[in-house]
Amino acid sequence: MNRYGVDPLPSLPGRITIWEVGPRDGLQNEAAILPVEVKVELVERLVDAGHTVVETTSLVHPKWVPQLADAEEVLRRLKRRDGVRYPVLVPNERGLDRAIGLGLTDVAVFASATESFARANLNRTVAQSLEMFAPVVARAREAGLGVRGYLSMCFGDPWEGEVPIPQVVAVATRLLALGCTELGLGDTIGVATPGRVAALLDALVGAGVPVGRIGVHFHDTYGQALANTLVALGRGVTTVDASAGGLGGCPYARSATGNLATEDLLWQLAGLGIDTGVDLGKLVETSAWLAARLNRPSPSRTVRALTPSAC
């Protein structure tokens, strides 16, 4: 859809994977609770657009995330396709049991780099949360599931401020030691800037973390998500989280605003000649459709530019 030229930059990958988080991280922070059939259609539309990884929902207690209380029903109705991964968030072994029972192949656990957020989100210390995740990850791996270890507050914390890089590296390497197959580095409140992103990625690689096992998850609170992504790509990262229409946030961190919009990311990548396999036009249509059902404008600049009715 970008008719304005392709100008690659040196040292960037030729292809990346977009880890689409709209159905989970996008919807969990919306005031409106969408019907099951709309959630199922959203996932199927995202797959139709070319996504090969769609984080579908969260198997947590409905009390904590009522927007996703129908997770099992969504997963039962969904027509899963070969070659597409449908990871779900699992908070504990009970969540893992549900995921295995539903025949899923990918799960994610959600850790914190800071004590304050670990208390707010998990009601545990960082060490206690890792102890809780240990049997979850071990059992998931024994069952042949892929396990993403999300790590929140990698760049800043609303209670603690700056998060020291060695602190982040220590928790990240612990997640991999537990058996996580990949990491998702979260800029939960959107305060990261390009230099900090480069410094953290360099430190992780220096600690022996393969860059191919790192994904990045940027929020766009201060308009830095695309710049941060570009730096991460330059450091060899090939998995980038994004949310259709820019929806999302975190219900346990009030300063966490929307995720990087998938459409905005695709516009940048198309201009750089980086392939994703995702059709921007189809995705814009999907986000405009979703905005109408949420009865709110799409936060994505690209969606607004290409679909005035989504404004």
pLDDT 10s digits, 239-298: 999 999 998 754 444 444 689 999 999 999 999 999 999 999 999 999 999 999 998 888
> Span 125-154, mean pLDDT?
98
> Which whole number is the average pLDDT over 189-207?
97
Query: What rounded mean pLDDT belongs to the chain?
Result: 94
Q: Where are the alpha helices (DSSP H) in 62-193?
A: 71-77, 93-101, 115-122, 126-142, 165-178
pLDDT higher at 157 or 249: 157
> What is residue 253's predicted lDDT score, i.e. its pLDDT?
45
pLDDT band at 46 (very low <50, low <70, confident <90, very high): very high
Do 209 and 177 form a contact (C-beta atoms < 8 A)? no
Token pair for residue 78? Answer: 């969904």
Which residues are annotated as catalytic?
250
Q: Three-state DSSP class for 178?
A: helix
| Strand duo 156-157 + 161-162: pairing | antiparallel
Place 195 in a pLDDT band, splitting at 50, 70 and 90.
very high
* pLDDT, position 29: 84
Q: How much is the pLDDT for 309?
A: 63
> First-to-last CA distance in the chain?
19
Q: Say what the pLDDT of residue 311 is.
A: 55
> If you ran DSSP here, which 8-state letter would residue 258 be given?
P
Q: What is the pLDDT of residue 256?
A: 43
Nearest Cα to 81, choosing from 109, 42, 100, 53?
53
Q: In this predicted model, what pLDDT tens digit does every residue of 211-240 receive, in sequence order?
A: 999 999 999 999 999 999 999 999 999 999
Mean pLDDT of the 97-113 span: 97
Q: State the pLDDT confidence band at 3, using cuts at 50, 70 and 90.
A: confident
Interval 9-38 mean pLDDT: 94
